[in-house]
Every structure is written in structure tokens, then in C-alpha cells.
Structure 1
Amino acid sequence: MQGLLLRLSTLDTDAESAVRVIAYFDSLVRDHVSVPVLLTATARLTQCPVGLLDAATGRRTRVRADGTADTPALPGSVRELSSGLGAVWMEREGPAHGLDEIVLERYAAAAEVTLERAAALVHTARDPALVELALSAETGEAERARALRLLGFDPATPLQALAIALPDQGLASGLRAMGHHVRAATIGDTEAVLVATTLSAELPDAPRTGTGIGPEPPGASRVGVGPEPPGTSRVGVGPELPGARAAESWAGARTALRFTGPHDPVMRWSDLGALALFADLPEQAIAGLPDVRAMSRLGEESLLAVRALCLAGSVRGAAQAVHLHHSSLAARISRAESALGFSLGDQPGRMRAHLALVLVRLLC
């Protein structure tokens, strides 16, 4: 039905057209669409900006006919929703269309149902089971799409999955407080989080998320997961993919989580590159590598010295990074070289050491 009704401007102001408008919104309600999908569908129908105020969150959203969205001021004329759920409105420039009133009426009715369903999901704690369903690789396409809609996501909208090592130090709730659309569930020993946003540039003060293989280039990417993860929170961030491919993002997030450590608590799957392949190696094979065994036996001071040298590329640069005199750091590096059995004085040696450092994390 939605495909049969694309633009209000193509319809006459007769009873048959009014019935088609009603059927259009009934179809949206029947499909359990989310608020963003309802807004986009209404704007496409009317070919003008439409808005919605969610009274529960105080959020105002306006979507234009081309699908772009923003957060506007509340206009002077709105249609109030029942039970204090909020309000909706249309912003048509020029003369009104003969069906505008019935569109606004049906849009308001659909918004009430959609907002009530969203509130019911929160209060009945259905999110965890739906999140698991959306993230499972065994879930069928139609079943995943339905789960995403019930969670308030459009299956075509880009999502990112986060894998947070328990105990979660409040990262999911922090994202909600920032206004992100977030759904979470505990899966095994990991908090699984789905976020309808691109997590790439909102964490300017977070620890950098390099893989520890060579010095990071200027402007290295950071993970935008809101405030810096407090305490011992370790977070793997999956790739940004359409909701229909949420299972792939979740797999990437879990892989990235394995590469996190005390000095790199946040890791993006997209930053791992070819290193992600090592996550598929059997732990027994990794543990049997001489470099990994030698690196695992180093003390904390030596590990910090090796890591700093590999990131900085020089003893002086590493000493400055860890606030030590360069001669003190050089002594630690010398002891580490004796234990490792190879020199860290050249790029191949440092690359070898960095790879061993990364592989040690996969055994933790």
C-alpha cells in the first residue's frame, strides 16, 4: 500500500483519495514502523517538512521530503496528541492541499500508536530479547527487520554495535543521556549495545584507539561513544552498517573488544585492518609463538617501555611520552631486548614487538 501512494500532489481531493491516505497510515501502523520511519514516510507523502515532539524525551524532530532531519523550534501551530504524548505538525509553504487535514489527522493517530509502542517496549523490558534477535547471525532477514522496527530502528538506517566488557561503567546510559537512540542487552559476559548513529567524532578526549602497530598518523580516528569510558570499561566498536546487517557489526565489535587493553580501552573494528584476521587463530597456536611467550613474561615496566618505543619510534620520543629520562627508558628497553631475544633498534624489530603485544591481548 505504501508503494501505491508516493505523493499527495498526485491525488484528487475525493473520497477515494482520502481512503488511500487512511490505508497508507494504517499500513505504517501495521508494520510497526519506528518514529523516524513514520516521519520520513509522512514527509515523502506530503512533499513538505513534517515534525514530531516526543513529550517523554522532549525531543523535537523535523524531516523534509528529501529525508533530511533536524531539531527545530516548536512551531506556533501543532496538533496535540492524546494522553500528553506530544504533538505533530506540517510545514507546507503556499496554499494547503485539500487532503492536508486528513493527512494530519491520520499522521497524529499513527504517531500516538508508535510512541505508545515505544514506551511499552521500555516498560516491559522487551529490549534485551529483541537486541539478541537483531544481533544473532542465525536470525532470518524478515525476523531481524521486525526486531529492529520494534526496537525503533529502520532496517535500512546505518547502525553500529558496541561490545562492552562487563561490568559496564555506564557507557550505554551515557549515550542515551546524549540523545542517541540506544538499545542494549547482556549477552554472556558482554553488554551488547545498538546505536543509531555514526560513532566517529564525538570523543575528542578519549584514549586513542590505535592498534599499537607503529606510531599513529596525525589525525588518527577516535571512537565517538560520548564521554570517555570511565574506569575499566573496555569497548569494541563494530563497523557502521545498515540495520539489516547488524549481526556483522556485532561480530566486528566482539572482535575489536578482544584487542582492547589497559592502555587502549576502546578499539574500532575499522582500525584493526588485517589484524582482525589474527582473531580467528586458535588461542593454542598464538600461545605457542615464542615472541608471545617472551612478551607475556615481561614485567609491567618493560611492557610499558616496549609499547612506548613502538608507538614513538625512538627512545627519546618514548621517554618523553612516559615522562622518563631517555637513559632510564633505554635501560628498560635493553632489559626487554634481552628477554625477547631480538633488537628493538630498527623498524622490523619494533613491528615484531608490536605484533607480539597485540597477540598477547588475544590470550587475555
Structure 2
Amino acid sequence: MEALVERLSGLDPYVDGAIRIVAFYDTLMRRRVDLPALVRASAGLAECVVGVRLHGTGRSTRVSPHGTAAPDASKPASTTVPITLDEEEIGTVWLERPGPPHPLDEVLLDRLALAAAAAAERYGPARTTMADPALVELVVSRDSDAAARARALRLLGFAVDLPVHVVAVRTGLPLDRIGTLVCPARPVKTALLADAGVILATALDRTRFPAAVRAGIGAAHRPDLAWCQARTALRFATEREPVVHHTDLGALALLAAVPERVARDNPDVVALDLLLPEDVEVLDAYCASSSVRRAAELLHRHHSSIARRLDHIGRTLGLDPTTPAGLTRVRLALVVRRLVHDGAER
């Protein structure tokens, strides 16, 4: 092969230059360079300003031959080539060469466009937060096939070979700000669907959710299944536990599948609805701690006061919440009641 290349390059200086350009970009692609490095290397090779724009971000990157950002006062593009991925144009590359185009400019841009498509597929475009809801819905919908889902993920800027975390969110805060907080240094997309906000992220720090946010995190590798899990986990989120991972629910997740009519008519759930709100609060604190003293600390009350309230609540419910069996029933009833009320609010 090397002998053939040498013979071809000796026949024509144009062929020699074209072969060297192809080899240059082959090397960059083997090294899996990202898009910024690719543009810098191209500007040095072309010895003029090189620009790239991905439609998914709406932003342009222009680099001078010295490897620095080109000044804003730019010349018009001398040569332009589209970036194509899966037969769809996803961006543009161009040269800003003073004077007439170089004979090899078209070859250089063709190879740059191929390398840029590979980099965009592998690393995704520069990180943005808000996304097209239609693309996000394609990713999380059970009606999407695998090819449509993969294509939507690529267009959103996610690498095809990396997992994507799916989060369902309920909040009054801007979704893009939440996405940036929980995934500060990696690609993240957010969108508002009909019943909840969606966060798609390549990494996730669940400790960075703001206090005013309720979030459910899916566990499945497939985004559509993870979205179903995330929505289920979101239904279990409370002020005491605002962020819930579906994996942590275990068998409790089965309660979300109980028909609302059956859950609402359960005697323990009906009995809870007859209690005063402050009594439900006492029960919730006691169930969260399994301790009268700890419940008193959570509610900033004296433990004897909590003990008296639990005794009164027990007589009203017809069970003793301080026994193992009574505590289990109350815990389940509180969860089911919360799910019923959540379903009524949506």
C-alpha cells in the first residue's frame, strides 16, 4: 500500500497533497479527537481561519491558524461543505481563506466534514441544556423504535456508546438551571413534557438537586424504560425525601401499579383521610424514624406529646402504630395515600 501511495504521489502534486490530507485526518480520527481539537488542527493545516457550526447548538466555532479563537471581524467563507450524519445535514464546515481558494481546499473540507460528523456522533455537540421536546419525546417514548431513538439521541448531542440517565422532575424552577446543577461538566438536555420535566444526562449528581425540586431517577439502560421508572419514582418523592431512585424503591414500586379505585377504597387509606393533617404529619415522622423521640426531634415537639398523639391516632385507626405489624400497615397506607393524591393532582 505504501509503495502504491508513493507511486501515485510521484505522478501528480495534487494527488500527493490529497493523500497527505487524507492521512492527516485518518490520524486525527484514530486518535478520537473532539471537535475543538479537530478545528484547531484543521486551521493549522489550512493556514487560514476554519469554522464549524452544528445545527443542534446554533453556535459557530472559528479558529485561526495560530490555534486561537478567530476575531469577530471575519472574511466571508471561501469554501463551505455540509456535515452529514445518517443522511441528514447536522452542520457546516468552512474556510475563510483570503484570496482565491486553494486547489486542495475542497479535499480538506470533505475530510474535515467526515471527521466532524464522527466527533459529533461520539462526543455530541457542545453542551446545551434546553432541547427540542419532540426529540426528547422520541428518546423516552415506548412507541419509538431503536433506530429512531438512537438518531434522536445523536441529534441531541449524546454519544451512542455511553449510557444516558433519565430523570423526571416536578418543580417551579427553570429546568435548564436544574440540568446544569446536577450535570455541571457533561452533556445534559432538559425539556418539559405533558406531565413532568425531563432531564437527560450523561452523568448525574443527585445531591445537587435544589430543595424545591421533586425528582425521580430511572434505572434501566433503555431510555424509554428508564422514563417509566423515573415517573414512578417521582410519585414517591416527598418533602422529606425529595429525590428518589427507582432502584431504592424495591417492592414498594409495585404499589404504583395498584388501580387508583382499589387504593382509594382500602380501609387503612380511608382511615388516614379522616385524620387531622397534624396527625398525619406525626404519623409520617414516626414512620420515617421508627422512634418516638426521633419523631419529636423532627417535629420540634416534646416526646411525651408525640407519644400521646400516637396513642390517640392508634385508637382512631383501630391499630397500634408502635407495634411492628401496626407500623408496617401505617407505612404502606401512607405511601398508598400519597400515590392516590398524586394521581388526583396530575
| TM-score, scaled relative to structure 2 | 0.66
Partner of 1:237: 217
Contact 2:133–2:192 (CA under 8 A) maintained in structure 1:
yes
The correspondence of residues 166-245 of structure 1 with structure 2, limited to 5 A, is 167-176=171-180, 178-197=184-203, 199=204, 202=205, 223-224=206-207, 226=208, 228-231=209-212, 233-239=213-219, 241=221, 245=222
Partner of 2:78: none
What secondary structure sits across from 1:353 in the alignment?
A: helix
CA distance, structure 1, for counterparts of residue 22 and residue 145 of structure 2? 31
Count of residues paired in the alignment = 271
Aligned match for 1:281, one of 228, 239, 258: 258
The correspondence of residues 1-364 of structure 1 with structure 2, limited to 5 A, is 12=2, 15=5, 45-46=30-31, 50-53=33-36, 81-82=50-51, 85=61, 106=111, 110-111=115-116, 118=125, 127-165=132-170, 167-176=171-180, 178-197=184-203, 199=204, 202=205, 223-224=206-207, 226=208, 228-231=209-212, 233-239=213-219, 241=221, 245-364=222-341
CA distance, structure 1, for counterparts of residue 151 and residue 20 of structure 2? 24
1:64-88 per-position Cα deviation (integer Å, ceiling 9, x unaligned)? xxxxxxxxxx99x987752661679
Alpha carbons of structure 1 residues 126 and 238: separation in structure 2 relative to 1, 3 Å:
closer
What secondary structure sits across from 2:164 in the alignment?
A: strand
Higher relative contact order (CA 8 A, sep 6+): 1
CA distance, structure 1, for counterparts of residue 165 and residue 202 of structure 2? 7
Instruction: Name which one, 1 or 2, has greater alpha-carbon Rg.
Output: 2
Contact 2:179–2:189 (CA under 8 A) maintained in structure 1:
no
1:160-218 per-position Cα deviation (integer Å, ceiling 9, x unaligned)? 111112x5413542332523422222221311221111x3xx3xxxxxxxxxxxxxxxx
Alpha carbons of structure 1 residues 78 and 362: separation in structure 2 relative to 1, 3 Å:
farther
* Mean CA deviation greater in 254-263 or 137-146: 254-263
Alpha carbons of structure 1 residues 280 and 87: separation in structure 2 relative to 1, 3 Å:
farther
Alpha carbons of structure 1 residues 297 and 107: separation in structure 2 relative to 1, 3 Å:
farther
Query: How far did 1:254 drift?
Result: 0.7
What secondary structure sits across from 2:149 in the alignment?
A: helix
Counterpart residue type for residue 82 of structure 1 = G
What secondary structure sits across from 1:261 in the alignment?
A: coil
Counterpart residue type for residue 170 of structure 1 = P
What secondary structure sits across from 1:294 in the alignment?
A: helix
Percent sequence identity is: 35
Counterpart residue type for residue 343 of structure 1 = D
CA distance, structure 1, for counterparts of residue 328 and residue 2 of structure 2? 70
Structure 2, gaps ≥5 residues long:
9-17, 53-59, 65-106, 342-346
CA distance, structure 2, for counterparts of residue 25 and residue 129 of structure 1? 35
What secondary structure sits across from 1:264 in the alignment?
A: coil
What secondary structure sits across from 2:150 in the alignment?
A: helix
1:98-151 per-position Cα deviation (integer Å, ceiling 9, x unaligned)? xxxx99994687338967x947x979x862111001110010111111111111
CA distance, structure 2, for counterparts of residue 351 and residue 264 of structure 1? 19
Could you say which structure has the higher helix fraction?
2
CA distance, structure 2, for counterparts of residue 118 and residue 261 of structure 1? 36
What do you get for the CA RMSD once the two structures are aligned?
A: 4.1
What secondary structure sits across from 2:219 in the alignment?
A: coil
